Amino acid sequence: MEDQNPSIVSHLSIGTNHFDKAVIFYDKVLATLGCKQLMNYPGAVAYGKEYPEFWVQIPIDGKPATVGNGSHIGFIANSEEQVHAFFDAAISEGGTDDGAPGPRPDYGEQYYGCFIRDLDGNKIEATYWKE
């Protein structure tokens, strides 16, 4: 049997109404988790460590980007320090605090994370799961 990718998601995209500012925001925020721009097209940028897994883009249909109610994107952090760096970078780039770094026992004993709203109001999270 061939090796299979254990992930269930190929990639995901969010729309933005502030493309240039959103790219600066995600360049700085995702760098705290070891991610970088891997692909760049007019109106679209993809981030990842090895593969283009997270896209920020102007909506293809030309209509304004909107926020998904009840949706958020969780990024993997490798330490509590990375959770704090993610949070601090997001706040310094204009993000909004939607849950400061810390444990959330309701999510599990090992959970440590934070929540941010990006410049368009998308909810993003950095999560560290203690072994």
What is the per-residue pLDDT across 82-124, written as a single tens digit (0 to 9) for each? 999 999 999 999 999 999 999 999 999 999 999 999 999 999 9
Residue 7 lies in a domain: no
pLDDT tens, position by position, 54-81: 999 999 999 999 999 999 999 999 999 9
Residue 3 lies in a domain: no
Distance in angstroms (rounded) separating the CA atoms of residues 33 and 44: 20
Domain that holds residue 124: 12-59+72-129
Residue 1 lies in a domain: no
Paired with 14 in beta bridges are 56
Q: What is the pTM of this model?
A: 0.92
Q: Are 12 and 73 in contact (CB under 8 A)?
A: yes
Tell me what the mean pLDDT of segment 22-40 comes to: 98
Sort strands 111-117 and 12-15 into parallel, antiparallel or unpaired. unpaired
Number of structural domains the chain divides into: 1
Q: Are 25 and 94 in contact (CB under 8 A)?
A: yes
Residue 50 lies in a domain: yes
Residue 115 lies in a domain: yes
